[in-house]
Structure 1
Amino acid sequence: MRSTIPALALLLSLSACDQQAADSARREQARAPAPVETSAETQQAFQQLSEEFVTELWQLFPSWAVREGYYKVAEQLQIPDDAYRKRMLDFAATYSRKFGNLDSSQLDPNASSDLALIQNFLSRIQWQLKKFKSHEWNPADYNVSHAFALILNTDYAPLDERLRTFSKRMAHVPAYYEAAEQSLRTPASPQLVLAIQQNEGALSVFGEELEQKLAESGLSDEEKQQFKQRLEQARQAIEEYVTFLQTKHSDLEKTQKYRNFRIGEKLYEEKFKYDIQIGMTASELYERALQEKDTLHGKMSELADKLWPEYFPESQPPADKLAKISAVLEKLSEHHATKETFKAEVEKQIPELAAFVTEHDLLTLDEDKPLVVRTTPPYMRGFSVASINAPGPYDKGANTYYNVMPIEDFSDERAESFLREYNSYLMQILNIHEAIPGHYTQLVYANQSPSLIKSILGNGAMIEGWAVYTERMMLEAGYGNFSPELWLMYYKWNLRTVINTILDYEIQVKGIDEERAMDLMVRQGFQQKAEAMGKWRRATLSQVQLTSYFAGYQDILALREEMKQKLGEKFNLKEFHEKFLSYGNAPVPVIRELMLAELQQN
C-alpha cells in the first residue's frame, strides 16, 4: 500500500513552486519511503496554529465568514483598498512561514492533508494579488449583497439583533464602493456587464422588504432613524457604483480598449494548479477531454441506433453520426415543462430522488437538513441556470437554497429553447447534480467533517466532481429503470461536462471565437442555442472553474474502481460514498491517500 505522503507532499509542492518543479517532485515522491511515526508535540503545535489561523482568517474575510455561518464578525465589512490587500499579503506570508516551520512528516494523515490545503490557500492569495490581480480588472468582484442577505434572512439570532448587525455593517458600504472604484483599472468587458447586472440586483437586498422588517422590529426610534440614514447612503453608494461602471462601459465601448478577458496559457496553468489540485496540468486534462468527447459520441451513436426505429419508423437514420444523434435528442427534447411550471417541476422531483437513494441504500440522508427551492435572487443572476447555497460548518442547521433561474418572463422563443435543453429527462439529471445526492447532500456531509479546514478550504473539483459522479451512479443503480432515452440524455449531459473543459481551455488559452465555441457546443455537444449562448458568456466570465466538473468526476470514478479492486467482495457502495464524503471538501487525490491509509490500518 502506498503511504499518504506522496499526494500530500505534491499539494505542498504545488503551492510553493512552478509546474516543472512539481513534476520533478512527483517523480521523486513516487519512490518516497513510508512516513515516520507521528509526533504528539508537532500534532498539538499544528492544531494550535490552525485555530489561530482560522480566527485571523475570519477577521480578514468577514463576508466569507458569514457565508460559513460564523456571525461573530458579521458587523464588519472589509474595505477593498490597497491597505486591505497589504494585510492579506502580510497574513499569507506570516502563516506560510509559521506553517512552513512545522515538520509535515510528523503529522498524521488528516493533519498533513489540512496542512496541504492551508499552504495551497496561502500561496494562492499571494499569486492572486501579485500576479492575477483581478481586483484591477474584474468589477464583479465587488458586491456587498450576499452577506447582507444572509444576515437578514438567516435566523441565527433574533431579528432585532440581526438588524443592529446589518446597520453597523451597512455603515461601511460607501467606503467599500469608493475603494472598489479606486481599485479598478481597465476592466474586461464581460465582467463589467455582469457587475452592472448583479449590483443593480443588489439593490433588492436593501429594498422594501428590509424597510418593512425595520418598521416591525423592536429597534428604538433613534436606532431606526440611524438605520434609515445608513440605508439611504448604502443605496446611493451602490447606485453610484453602477453609474460609474456604466460610464466606464460607455467610454470603453467607443475605444474597444477593454482588458482581454482571456488570461493566456501561463496564468491559466497557474490558476488551474491552485484551483483544481489534481496530478496533471490543464493541457493534459484538455487532451483527455478531447478523447472522452469521441468516446461519448460513440456511446450516443449506439443508443441513437437503438431508438431510431421507435421514433422515426418511416425513415432511415442519416449517415452523419452527429446528425443522427441530434435528431433523436431533438425528438426527446419535446417533452418538457412550461415556463410557468419549470420551478414547480424541479421542486416536485426532490422527494422522489431522496426516496430512490434511501430505497437503494446508496447514502444515509439527513432529513432534518432543510432544502429550499427558490428563484435565484437578483444579485446572483447572470451566471448559471441553477446553483446551491449551502450553510457553512458554523451554522449547520440553516437552510440550503436551491436557486433556479426565473424564466416566466422569457420570450416564447427563448423559453422554448431553454425548456428543450432542460427537458423532462435532463431536468432529472440537473436535480441529481444540484440536490440529491449531488451538491446538497455532499455539502451536508462536509459540514459534519471533523476537519474544519477541509470544510472551509473546499476544493472545487471535488465538489463539482461529486455532483457529476452521482449522475452516473444513480443511473447505474437503476434510476429511470435503465431507460435508453434517459441514458442518451445523460450522455448528452455528461458530454457537456467534457465540453466545459474543452471550451474553457480553448477560449482562455487558444483564443477561439464565439463561432467556434458555438459549433463545439451546439453541433458537437447537441446543446440548444440558448444554453450554448449562456455557457459562452459564463466561459468569458470565469477561468478554470468549468474544468472542475470533468477533473473531479474522472478522479472519483477512478478511485471507486480502485477501491473495488482492493476490497473485492467486501466492497460496499454505500460505505464507499459515506467514507469518501466524510473527509469534507478535500481534493480527490488527498481523499484517496487518506482512504488507502485507513484501509492499510484495517
Structure 2
Amino acid sequence: MRPTLLAITLTALLAGCSDGQAPAASQATAPAASDAAADAIFAALSKEALDTWMRLSPVSATQIGDHRYDDQLDDLSAEGRQRRIDANKALLAKLDALDASRLSRANQVDAAILHNQLQADLWTAEVLQDWAWDPQIYGGLAGSAIYGLMAREFAPLPDRIRAATARMEKLPALFAQARANLDPARVPKIHAETVAKQNAGILSIVETFITPHLGELPAADAARTRAAIDGLQQAVAGQQAWLDKTLVPNAKGDFRIGTDKYDQKLKFALSSSLSRAEIKQRAEAEMQRVRGQMYGIARTVLAGKAGAPPLPEQPTEAQRQVAIEAALELAYADHPARDKVVDAAKASLQAATGFVREKKLVTLPDAPVDVILMPEFQRGVAVAYCDSPGPLDKGLKTFYAISPIPDDWSQAQADSFLREYNGRMIHLLSIHEGIPGHYLEGGHSAKYPSVLRGVLRSGLFAEGWAVYTERMMQEQGYLGGDPLFQLVQLKFYLRTIANALLDQGVHVDGWSREQAMRLMTHDAFQQESEAAGKWVRAQLTSAQLPTYFVGAQEHFDLRKAMQDKLGDRFDLKAYHDQVLSYGAPPVRYVRELMLDEPIR
C-alpha cells in the first residue's frame, strides 16, 4: 500500500491530464468511433486541471514528479481551501458540459475517473471537512514536504536542499494553520495522540537527508539552510507543546464518521458496483469458506503429529479453531530475529522476483526498488508500504518500506510481532508490496500514456491486485507448494476479509475494541500486536481498508470472466500484462475495456 499519511495529502487534491491516446496495442479491445474534437477538448480540460491542481498543491506536485513548485507549500488556510473549492467547481462544470459519449473509450474512462475525483474533492472539503478535525493532514503534509524532495535523486542535491530550505521556512505557517483550523471538540483523541507521537519525525528527515550535506553547499546557501533548520526546530517544539498541552487533552471528537458519510466516502473510494451491505455479505461468506479450507490444510499438516488436537472430518467450531491455531504454530516457529526483519524482506523479494521470472507469470519492470526502514514520521499506521515514484518521475527508485520493531517494545511484544510476521508471512508481504504486487503494478501503470491514470492511480485496483497476486503465487507453486505457506497465505487473505468487515463495523455499526479484536484475533487468527495496530488504523482511517477485499474480488471475478471467454486460448502471462496495461483505473473499467462492455 501507499503510505496512509501521504495518501491523505494526495487523494483530496489531485487531478491529471490525458493525451487522448488509446490503450496500448496489446489490448484486444479497439476504441469505439469517437469525435476527435471532443477528445481535444477533454485533453485541454485535463491539462488545465493538472496545471491548476499542481499549483494549488505543491507537495503533491513534487510527489507526482512535477517539480515547478518544489519551493512552495500548500496553503490550508480558509482562503487557500476556498481557492481549491472554486477551482474544483469550475473544472466540474466544464467536464459536465462535455458529452462523454463522444470521447474515445480510453477518454471515457479518464473522464469518469476525473469526474469522481472532482466530486470527491468537493465533498471532502465541504461535507467531511477533515481539515477541521484530522491533524494527520497537517503532520503528513509537513513530513511529505521535505521527504518528497530528499528521498529520490530527481535533481542535483544542492537544488533539492534549496527547495527543502524554502519549504522549511514556510512550515511554521502550516503549523499555525493547523492550530487555527483544528477544532479540539471535533478532533478524535486517537488522531491527536498519533500525530503527537509523529510530530518530531520531521526533524529526523532533516537530520538524515539534509544536515550531513551542509558542507557541500555554498556558504550562503548553507547559512540559509542552517537558519531554516533552527526555525523549524523551534516550530516543531512549539507545535509539540500545543499538541501535548492543548490538542490531546481537549480532543473530544468521535473517530467514527457515521453511516451517511461512510457510505458516500466508500462510494468515492471504491468506484465499485458493490454496496456496503453486499460487501459485508460477501466478506462473511468468504470468511467461512476460507476457514473451512484452512481446516483441511490443518488436518494434513497435523496428521500423525504427537500432541495434535482432534481432527474430525466434521468438526465443531471449537475443534476447527483449535486445529487451525495448532497448524499455524508450525509456521510461527520459523521467523527472523528481532533485528533481521528487513534482511528477511530483502531475501524474500529476491526469491519472489526469481520465481516470477522463472514461471514467466508477468513482464517484470526495469525500475529499481530498495527495501528501507520506514521513515519515522510515517510509522504507526501500517507495518509496510510500497512507495513508487510519481508518474512524471521516470527511472527513479521505488521504496519497499518496513517499520522496525520499536526499541521500547518488550520482548513479549516483539515475539508477538514476529509470530505474525514469520518467515512465510514476510514472503507474502514482499509479494504484496513488491513483486508481483505493488512495485510491479506501479511500474506498469507508470507507462500508460494518460497522466490522469498515473496521478489518480486507483487504490482499489492497486490493493486488489496485490491481494490477487498472493493467491496467484501460491496457486503457481511458490515455495515448492509448501502447505504451511498456503495456510499462511489463507491467513493473510483472512486479514483482507477482516479489513472490510472491521471498517464498516467500526464506522457504521459502532463496534467496540473488544468486538474488533475478536474478529481479528479469533476469526482471522491475527496476533495481538497486529490486531491492536489494525484497531488503531481503523480509527485513524475510513473507507480505505475495504479496498483490499473489494479490489481482490473484482480481480478474481475478472480473471474468471476472461478464462470463460477465452477457454483454451487463455494465457496467464498475457492476461496479467493486459490487465496491467490500462494504467490502474478502478477494476470495473478494466473489465469493461477487456470484455468490450459500455463504459459506465
TM-score by length of 2: 0.90
Mapped partners of 1:332, 1:311: distance in 2: 15
Provide structure 1 residue ranges, at least 5 long, that are not aligned to the other structure.
1-14, 16-34
The CA deviation string for residues 117-167 of structure 1, in whole angstroms up to 9 with x for no partner, is 111111011100111011111111102112312212321111121122122
- Counterparts of residues 247-286 of structure 1 (less than 5 Å): 247-252=245-250, 258-286=252-280
Per the alignment, residue 23 of structure 1 pairs with none
Per the alignment, residue 296 of structure 2 pairs with 302
Mapped partners of 1:238, 1:110: distance in 2: 46
The CA deviation string for residues 180-212 of structure 1, in whole angstroms up to 9 with x for no partner, is 110101211111111112222112122365222
Distance 1:559 1:208, change over 3 A: closer
- Counterparts of residues 579-598 of structure 1 (less than 5 Å): 579-597=578-596
Mapped partners of 1:354, 1:208: distance in 2: 30
Alpha-carbon distance, 1:311 to partner? 3.8
Alpha-carbon distance, 1:429 to partner? 1.0
Q: Secondary structure of the equivalent of 1:72?
A: helix
Contact residue 262 and residue 511 of structure 1 kept, 8 A: yes
Alpha-carbon distance, 1:589 to partner? 0.2
Mapped partners of 1:267, 1:599: distance in 2: 29
The CA deviation string for residues 290-327 of structure 1, in whole angstroms up to 9 with x for no partner, is 11111111111111112221444665348521122112
Mapped partners of 2:268, 2:406: distance in 1: 39
Provide structure 2 residue ranges, at least 5 long, that are not aligned to the other structure.
1-11, 13-30
Per the alignment, residue 10 of structure 1 pairs with none
- Counterparts of residues 340-379 of structure 1 (less than 5 Å): 340-367=339-366, 369-379=367-377
Greater CA deviation, 200-209 or 380-389?
200-209
Q: Secondary structure of the equivalent of 1:480?
A: helix
Distance 1:182 1:306, change over 3 A: same
Distance 1:480 1:211, change over 3 A: closer
Verify: 1:547 aligned to 2:546, yes or no: yes
Per the alignment, residue 155 of structure 1 pairs with 153
Contact residue 75 and residue 81 of structure 2 kept, 8 A: no
CA RMSD of superposed structures (Å)? 2.0
Verify: 1:287 aligned to 2:286, yes or no: no
Mapped partners of 1:425, 1:175: distance in 2: 46
Distance 1:209 1:121, change over 3 A: closer
Per the alignment, residue 484 of structure 2 pairs with 485
Greater CA deviation, 152-161 or 398-407?
152-161
- Correspondent of 1:93 among 71, 89, 94: 89
Verify: 1:166 aligned to 2:164, yes or no: yes
Alpha-carbon distance, 1:279 to partner? 0.4
- Counterparts of residues 140-539 of structure 1 (less than 5 Å): 140-143=136-139, 144-186=142-184, 187-207=187-207, 209-217=209-217, 219=218, 221-252=219-250, 258-312=252-306, 316-317=310-311, 319=316, 320=318, 321-367=320-366, 369-407=367-405, 409=407, 410-539=409-538
Counterpart of 2:343, as a letter, is A
Q: Secondary structure of the equivalent of 2:252?
A: coil
Alpha-carbon distance, 1:459 to partner? 1.4
Greater CA deviation, 462-471 or 37-46?
37-46
Mapped partners of 2:566, 2:110: distance in 1: 27
Distance 1:405 1:208, change over 3 A: closer
Counterpart of 1:115, as a letter, is A
Contact residue 309 and residue 323 of structure 2 kept, 8 A: no
Counterpart of 2:467, as a letter, is V
Counterpart of 1:492, as a letter, is K
Alpha-carbon distance, 1:42 to partner? 0.5
Counterpart of 2:131, as a letter, is H
Per the alignment, residue 22 of structure 1 pairs with none
Contact residue 149 and residue 205 of structure 1 kept, 8 A: yes
Greater CA deviation, 481-490 or 372-381?
481-490
- Counterparts of residues 107-122 of structure 1 (less than 5 Å): 107-122=103-118
Distance 1:468 1:238, change over 3 A: same
Counterpart of 2:291, as a letter, is H
Q: Which ranges of 4 or more aligned residues in structure 1 deviate by more than 4 Å?
A: none
The CA deviation string for residues 97-125 of structure 1, in whole angstroms up to 9 with x for no partner, is 11111110000111001001111111011
Mapped partners of 2:214, 2:553: distance in 1: 50
Q: Secondary structure of the equivalent of 1:172?
A: helix
TM-score by length of 1: 0.90
Provide the identity percentage: 33
Q: Secondary structure of the equivalent of 2:595?
A: helix
Q: Secondary structure of the equivalent of 2:386?
A: strand
Counterpart of 1:88, as a letter, is R
Distance 1:98 1:288, change over 3 A: same
Contact residue 265 and residue 509 of structure 1 kept, 8 A: yes
Verify: 1:83 aligned to 2:79, yes or no: yes
Mapped partners of 1:541, 1:62: distance in 2: 25
Counterpart of 2:201, as a letter, is G
Contact residue 138 and residue 184 of structure 1 kept, 8 A: yes
Mapped partners of 1:553, 1:378: distance in 2: 30
Q: Secondary structure of the equivalent of 1:441?
A: helix
Contact residue 309 and residue 322 of structure 2 kept, 8 A: no
Greater CA deviation, 545-554 or 160-169?
160-169
- Counterparts of residues 34-73 of structure 1 (less than 5 Å): 37-73=33-69
Alpha-carbon distance, 1:364 to partner? 1.1
Mapped partners of 2:355, 2:451: distance in 1: 31
Q: Secondary structure of the equivalent of 1:171?
A: helix
Aligned residue pairs: how many? Answer: 561
Mapped partners of 2:308, 2:281: distance in 1: 40
Per the alignment, residue 557 of structure 2 pairs with 558
Distance 1:563 1:36, change over 3 A: closer
Counterpart of 2:193, as a letter, is V
Mapped partners of 1:387, 1:435: distance in 2: 9
Mapped partners of 1:67, 1:281: distance in 2: 32
Mapped partners of 2:247, 2:412: distance in 1: 29
Mapped partners of 1:361, 1:226: distance in 2: 53
